[in-house]
């Protein structure tokens, strides 16, 4: 028997108390025997705030999310939700973990209905919310098909629906854009914006710089379980030196030394046949192309972009957000 | 076909159970996999028919049926809970407002109900041809219910030690084998000594005794002792589930 509580019974709030942090962590530590994990970490997420956790794989994002979602306990430090303990806070929390996928035997509608019913007892409301959010995230047509027949992206959408269907005051979403197509990412960004307007707090663990810039009011960089920096996306981007980024792909290994010699290049990171070059000045582009193409016909792809949060992370930690054996160098 | 996903087959929504509880959800999943359910119920039944047709001695037939109950109960739950943990379901469940014992208790009840579906035809087939009295059949029913609670809780608890769903099978055998041995299933229960005391406290020894009685043999213990011992073991199992439910749900 699962507890099916009415909103009143579980103390479900329709609006969060003003000026009360949805979640606050004070010096929390959760380390595993292999040294991985997180902490000590301090952070607070206020009502209507969207915070993004960014960091390399294994840096402690998911461990921190579990702590903030009440499903794991810190070895040291304290976590409080709405200025209270974990048990009553669960009435206000929605959780979507990366890799947490629904059992294939149920239909999407059944799975969503089950999760919604854990918070809301009125059957009509559960049905209305289930149908509404399935529709918004593009699963209405497949709602009565077995989840086992869903694509990975559809299962990821379903996990988001299950986490948000009861409109929690605090939602914790682990890699929410993983597996989502651009339309799904855009719809999710709209949903998170609407949550902000309704004073709902959201924490997303994501290494998708574009998505984080679009949805987050605060970004927390984590490295080896510690907070490296917490600031608004704009503050982080403003802290970067002027310039742009060229992403290059060549036939064979990238010539890092050759790229480094180009005038205007600020720094170069190379992983096999890929290179990421930060540079300043339009005149540098032609020289970069020439250096990457030398001795002729080696350049396969070139993409120019403005610096993003991934570059901020690299600037702060000297590491790339993405996996891969990147070696960063700066011109002498 | 739905959209550009040709593999999606949609059935009318009204035909499906909309689960509100963990127990209902688990039963809905089991019902959706009818072929697996038929195999789960069919294989033990084949074993029971072989025992009946072969006129197996009641001690050995009872032993085999007890081992079957222990394995079906513990393995099914242990594997399901381990897979649910790997899929992140337990973590998500731990973030809901329901009490941990009730959430996990719902799971155990659903698993036990599925086990009944699996084992009822076995029990009927094995006892219908035996010479057991009505009283011995009633004792068997109580013993089966209690043993299924014990084995399903055991399956849940064993997942605390296992790293994954594959490893949990080994762990179940490692835990059950000594319990079955101490219950005197393979050797009989000595008249005195520590093994007699261990067997008296072992629910599988009492289930074995109940099976022997229902099959027309001479049970190891009196019916009253079997019922009391199994009920006590079930109560201990439920208490253990209540105490360990948080750890089971929140384990990484």
Residues in Cβ contact with B71 at an 8 Å cutoff, skipping those fewer than 6 apart: B172, B176
Q: Is the confidence at residue B55, as pLDDT, over 80? A: yes
Q: What is the pLDDT of residue A289?
A: 87
d(CA A232, CA A238): 10
User: Which range in A217-221, B35-39, B76-80 is most confidently predicted, on average pLDDT?
Assistant: A217-221
Name the residue ranges covered by the structural domains of chain A: 23-231, 239-329
Q: What is the pLDDT of residue A116?
A: 95
- The answer to whether A304 faces chain B, any CB pair under 8 Å, is no
Q: Which of B152, B147, B148 is nearest to B227 (CA)?
A: B147
- Buried/exposed code over A241-267 (b: 16+ C-beta within 10 A; e: otherwise): eebbbbebbbeeebbbebbbebebbbb
CB-based burial of residue B151 (10 Å sphere; 0-12 exposed, 13-18 middle, 19+ buried)?
buried
Partner-chain contact A117 B91, CB within 8 Å: no
> What percentage of chain B exceeds 70 in pLDDT?
94
Q: What is the pLDDT of residue A11?
A: 43
- The answer to whether A113 faces chain B, any CB pair under 8 Å, is yes
- Superfamily of domain A23-231 in CATH is P-loop containing nucleotide triphosphate hydrolases (3.40.50.300)
Q: What is the pLDDT of residue B130?
A: 67
Nearest CB to B97; choose among A91, A113, A154: A91
Task: Look at B49 and A86; give whichever has higher pLDDT.
Answer: A86
DSSP state of A2: -
d(CA A265, CA A286): 12
Q: Which pairing describes strands A23-31 and A37-45: parallel, antiparallel, or unpaired?
A: antiparallel
> What percentage of chain A exceeds 70 in pLDDT?
91
d(CA A29, CA A26): 9
Q: What is the pLDDT of residue A4?
A: 37
Q: Is the confidence at residue B146, as pLDDT, over 80? A: yes
Name the residue ranges covered by the structural domains of chain B: 35-250
A-chain CB neighbours of B95 within 8 Å are 69-71, 90, 93-95
Q: Is the confidence at residue B45, as pLDDT, over 80? A: yes
Partner-chain contact A1 B21, CB within 8 Å: yes
Closest Cα in chain B, distance from residue A249 (Å): 33
Q: Is the confidence at residue A1, as pLDDT, over 50? A: no
ipTM of this predicted complex? 0.82
Nearest CB to B95; choose among A1, A70, A113: A70
Q: Is the confidence at residue B172, as pLDDT, over 80? A: yes
> What percentage of chain A exceeds 90 in pLDDT?
53
- The answer to whether B23 faces chain A, any CB pair under 8 Å, is yes
What mean pLDDT comes out for the span A238-264?
85
Give the pLDDT band of residue B16 (cuts 50, 70, 90): confident
Q: Is the confidence at residue A51, as pLDDT, over 80? A: yes
Partner-chain contact A105 B28, CB within 8 Å: yes
B-chain CB neighbours of A70 within 8 Å are 94-95
pLDDT digits (tens, 9 = 90+) for B65-106: 999 999 989 998 898 889 888 888 889 999 999 888 988 888
User: Which range in A283-287, B5-9, B58-62 is most confidently predicted, on average pLDDT?
Assistant: B58-62
A-chain CB neighbours of B249 within 8 Å are 71
Q: Which of 148-207 (B) contact A at CB < 8 A? A: none
Partner-chain contact A105 B12, CB within 8 Å: no
pLDDT digits (tens, 9 = 90+) for A140-199: 999 999 998 998 889 999 999 999 999 999 999 999 998 888 988 999 999 999 999 999
Q: What is the pLDDT of residue A17?
A: 55
What does CATH list as the number for A239-329?
Answer: 3.30.70
Closest Cα in chain A, distance from residue B77 (Å): 15
Mean pLDDT taken over chain B: 87
Task: Look at A270 and A95; give whichever has higher pLDDT.
Answer: A95
B-chain CB neighbours of A115 within 8 Å are 92, 96
Nearest CB to B102; choose among A3, A73, A151: A3
Q: Which pairing describes strands A201-205 and A50-54: parallel, antiparallel, or unpaired?
A: parallel
Closest Cα in chain A, distance from residue B119 (Å): 22
Q: Is the confidence at residue A218, as pLDDT, over 50? A: yes
Q: What is the pLDDT of residue A260?
A: 85
- The answer to whether A95 faces chain B, any CB pair under 8 Å, is yes
Closest Cα in chain B, distance from residue A177 (Å): 18
A9 SS3 class = coil
Task: Look at B8 and B73; give whichever has higher pLDDT.
Answer: B73
- The answer to whether A118 faces chain B, any CB pair under 8 Å, is yes
Q: What is the pLDDT of residue A14?
A: 52
Q: Which of A258, A182, A195 is nearest to A15 (CA)?
A: A195
B-chain CB neighbours of A91 within 8 Å are 97
Q: Which of 93-132 (B) contact A at CB < 8 A? A: 94-99, 102-103, 105-106, 109
Residues in Cβ contact with A104 at an 8 Å cutoff, skipping those fewer than 6 apart: A146, A147, A148, A149
Please report, for residues B8, B58, B60, B139, B212, the alpha-carbon distance to residue B130 in angstroms, rounded to integers and kept in the order given.
Answer: 49, 9, 14, 15, 10
Q: Is the confidence at residue A31, as pLDDT, over 90? A: yes
Q: What is the pLDDT of residue B19?
A: 92
Q: What is the pLDDT of residue A15?
A: 54
Give the pLDDT band of residue B37 (cuts 50, 70, 90): confident
Q: What is the pLDDT of residue B9?
A: 53
What mean pLDDT comes out for the span A62-90?
93
Task: Give residue for tokens 């329709």.
Answer: A14
Closest Cα in chain A, distance from residue B204 (Å): 26
Closest Cα in chain B, distance from residue A234 (Å): 33
Q: Which of 196-215 (A) contact B at CB < 8 A? A: none
Nearest CB to A114; choose among B10, B13, B20: B20
Task: Look at A329 and A265; give whichever has higher pLDDT.
Answer: A265
Q: Which of 70-89 (A) contact B at CB < 8 A? A: 70-73, 87
Q: Is the confidence at residue B26, as pLDDT, over 60? A: yes
Rounded to 10 deg, the angle between the A123-136 and A108-117 helix axes is: 130
- The answer to whether A66 faces chain B, any CB pair under 8 Å, is yes
Please tell me which residue of chain A has the smallest CA distance to B10: A145
B-chain CB neighbours of A4 within 8 Å are 20-21, 98
Mean pLDDT taken over chain A: 86
């Amino acid at each position: 028997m699962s507890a099916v509580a009415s909103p009143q019974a579980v103390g479900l709030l329709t609006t969060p108390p003003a000026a009360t942090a949805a979640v606050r962590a004070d010096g929390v530590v959760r380390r595993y025997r292999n040294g991985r994990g997180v902490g000590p970490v301090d952070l607070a997420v206020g009502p209507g705030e969207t915070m993004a956790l960014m960091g390399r794989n294994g840096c402690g994002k998911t461990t921190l999310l579990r702590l903030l979602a009440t499903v794991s306990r810190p070895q040291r430090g304290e976590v409080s939700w709405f200025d209270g303990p974990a048990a009553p806070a669960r009435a206000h929390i929605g959780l979507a973990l990366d890799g947490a996928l629904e059992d294939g035997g149920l239909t999407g509608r059944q799975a969503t209905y089950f999760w919604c019913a854990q918070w809301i007892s009125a059957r009509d409301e559960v049905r209305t919310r289930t149908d509404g959010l399935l529709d918004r995230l593009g699963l209405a047509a497949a709602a009565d098909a077995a989840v086992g027949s869903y694509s990975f992206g559809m299962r990821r959408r379903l996990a988001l629906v299950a986490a948000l269907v009861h409109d929690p005051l605090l939602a914790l979403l682990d890699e929410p854009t993983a597996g989502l197509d651009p339309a799904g990412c855009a719809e999710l960004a709209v949903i998170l914006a609407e949550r902000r307007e309704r004073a709902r707090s959201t924490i997303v663990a994501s290494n998708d710089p574009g998505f984080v810039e679009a949805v987050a009011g605060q970004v927390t960089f984590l490295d080896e379980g510690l907070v490296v920096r917490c600031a608004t996306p704009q503050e982080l981007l403003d802290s970067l030196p002027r310039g742009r980024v060229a992403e290059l792909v060549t036939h064979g290994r990238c010539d890092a030394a050759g790229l480094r010699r180009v005038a205007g290049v600020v720094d170069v990171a190379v992983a096999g046949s890929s290179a990421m070059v930060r540079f300043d000045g339009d005149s540098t582009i032609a020289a970069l192309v020439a250096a990457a193409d030398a001795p002729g016909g080696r350049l396969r792809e070139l993409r120019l972009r403005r610096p993003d949060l991934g570059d901020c992370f690299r600037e702060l930690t000297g590491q790339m957000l993405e996996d891969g054996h990147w070696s960063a160098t700066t011109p002498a | 076909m739905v959209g550009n996903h040709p593999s999606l087959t949609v059935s009318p929504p009204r035909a499906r159970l909309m689960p509100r509880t963990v127990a209902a959800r688990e039963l809905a999943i089991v019902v959706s996999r009818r072929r697996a359910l038929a195999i789960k119920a069919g294989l033990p039944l084949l074993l029971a028919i072989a025992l009946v047709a072969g006129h197996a001695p009641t001690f050995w037939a009872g032993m085999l049926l007890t081992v079957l109950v222990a394995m079906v109960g513990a393995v099914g739950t242990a594997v399901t809970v381990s897979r649910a943990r790997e899929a992140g379901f337990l973590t998500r469940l731990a973030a809901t407002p329901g009490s941990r014992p009730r959430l996990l208790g719902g799971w155990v009840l659903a698993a036990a109900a599925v086990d009944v579906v699996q084992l009822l035809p076995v029990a009927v087939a094995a006892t219908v041809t035996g010479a057991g009295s009505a009283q011995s059949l009633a004792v068997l029913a109580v013993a089966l219910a209690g043993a299924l609670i014990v084995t399903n809780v055991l399956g849940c608890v064993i997942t605390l030690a296992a790293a994954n769903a594959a490893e949990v099978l080994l762990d179940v055998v490692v835990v059950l084998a000594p319990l079955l041995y101490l219950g005197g299933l393979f050797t009989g229960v000595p008249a005195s000594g520590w093994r007699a005391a261990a067997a008296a406290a072992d629910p599988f020894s009492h289930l074995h005794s109940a099976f022997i009685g229902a099959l027309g043999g001479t049970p190891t213990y009196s019916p009253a002792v079997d019922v009391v011992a199994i009920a006590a073991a079930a109560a201990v199992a439920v208490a253990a589930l209540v105490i360990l439910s948080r750890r089971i749900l929140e384990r990484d």
